[in-house]
């Protein structure tokens, strides 16, 4: 049975789509947070408040890693950029794990192993 007709191909594809979609949402949310802080958006404005509250749980583990850079009220929150990078790496690792479960034929596995050992 080839990989195209394997029963695991479609769930694998859907799983990777879900991971990348969720990452896209998270990255967009954190990017809004970063830009709003950088441009000194009013934190009590509805949109800003919403973005800060929703993104806080995802940014919180990184907030004490770097000091915040402030210039005349504008905040350069390095921790948010770090969070974006870490979440990207986590999503990439999850997708790689999904592909480890992909069905491969014995000849295909042999070729891949030969290529890895060169």
More confident site: 16 or 29: 29
Average pLDDT over residues 51-71: 93
Per mean pLDDT, which of 46-55, 62-71, 90-99 is the most reliable?
46-55
Average pLDDT over residues 32-47: 95
pTM: 0.80
Average pLDDT over residues 45-63: 96
**101-109: long-range contacts, CB 8 A cutoff, minimum separation 24:** 101/8, 101/12, 102/3, 102/6, 102/8, 102/9, 102/12, 103/1, 103/3, 103/6, 103/7, 103/8, 103/9, 104/3, 105/1, 105/2, 105/3, 108/3
Average pLDDT along the chain: 88
Query: How sure is the predictor about 7, in pLDDT bands with cuts at 50, 70 and 90?
Result: low
Average pLDDT over residues 28-45: 95
Query: How sure is the predictor about 61, in pLDDT bands with cuts at 50, 70 and 90?
Result: very high
């Amino acid at each position: 049975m080839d990989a195209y007709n394997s029963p695991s191909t479609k769930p694998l594809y859907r799983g990777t789509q879900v991971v990348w979609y969720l990452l896209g949402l998270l990255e967009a949310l954190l990017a809004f947070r970063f830009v709003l802080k950088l441009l000194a958006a009013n934190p009590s404005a509805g949109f800003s408040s919403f973005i800060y509250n929703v993104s806080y749980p995802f940014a919180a583990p990184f907030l004490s890693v770097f000091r915040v850079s402030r210039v005349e009220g504008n905040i350069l929150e390095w921790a948010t950029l770090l969070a974006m990078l870490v979440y990207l790496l986590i999503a990439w690792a999850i997708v790689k794990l999904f592909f480890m479960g992909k069905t491969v034929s014995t000849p295909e596995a042999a070729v891949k192993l030969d290529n890895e050992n060169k």
